[in-house]
Amino acid sequence: MKIIVAIKQVPDRDAPIRIDAAGKWIEESDLQYAMNEPDAYALEEALQLKEKHGGEVIVLSAGPESVGTTIREALAKGADRAIHIVCDDLASRDALGVARLLAEAAKQESPDLLLTGLQSEDLGLGQTGVIVAELLGLPHATLILHVEKTDTGIEVKRELEEGWFQTIQLPTPAVLTIQSGGAKLRYATLMGIKRAKMKEVKQLAAADLASATAPVVVLEQLALPRKQRSTQMLAGTPKETAAALVEKLRTEAHVL
């Protein structure tokens, strides 16, 4: 099987976040970056399929030159080669704009499967994978926990609400967005890190894949959550204050 895994580089979870002067994005000058965790689960699923059925795993990522470190991490974990769409204006592109880049690059490879994480940790839109499927005209499924190869295509296990699951069959090629937590993530070994330095990383210019168009969705303003604290004093007898407390927990805090 030829499997493409789309991964994204995002700010590290422990990195201090500051809004930039324009209020449109975060200050990136001193940030530490890491692989988007949902994409890491997509990579793990692809590597397990390769170990069972053979083939190759190709990492696909868009972004500036700094994305190379995240690509090398994926190669160190076991991906065979990578495609880097060099794009310095990724933050200004909406989900459709990013999906167009990924779809055009993936089209050149004709993969059996294209996997993405369910969503990115920075924007959390959860749209890029399904838009790629639409652009490529391929069947797709979301919230995937496990993938099995069959004689006619693939069988996938989807996570639904309230602990319910769904098993469906799809033909290939197909696009899947992988749910986090479906497998245990592997670490890059020392040997894997050494081998990653020798693996191919093909660079493509974003301008050669899809022209930058006006985004459908525009980010107007970015703001940090407000910290709000308040104290309420409940008066009355112990029975009255207990009843008032229960009512507030039920109607205001919504924890009962």
| pLDDT tens digits, 55-86 | 999 999 999 999 999 999 999 999 999 999 99
pLDDT by residue (tens digit) across 107-146? 999 999 999 999 998 888 899 999 999 999 999 999 999 9
Structure tokens at 7: 């991964």
Q: What is the pLDDT of residue 222?
A: 83
CATH topology of domain 2-209: Rossmann fold (3.40.50)
In whole angstroms, give the CA distance from residue 223 to residue 210. Answer: 31
Closest by CA to 196, choosing from 33, 80, 66, is 80
pTM listed for this prediction: 0.83
Residue spans per domain, the chain: 2-209
Average pLDDT, the chain: 91
In whole angstroms, give the CA distance from residue 62 to residue 9. Answer: 9
Listed in sequence order, the residues at least 6 apart from 58 whose beta carbon sits closer than 8 Å to its beta carbon are: 2, 3, 4, 5, 79, 80, 81, 82, 83, 109, 111
Highest-scoring range by mean pLDDT, 53-62, 82-91, 205-214 = 53-62
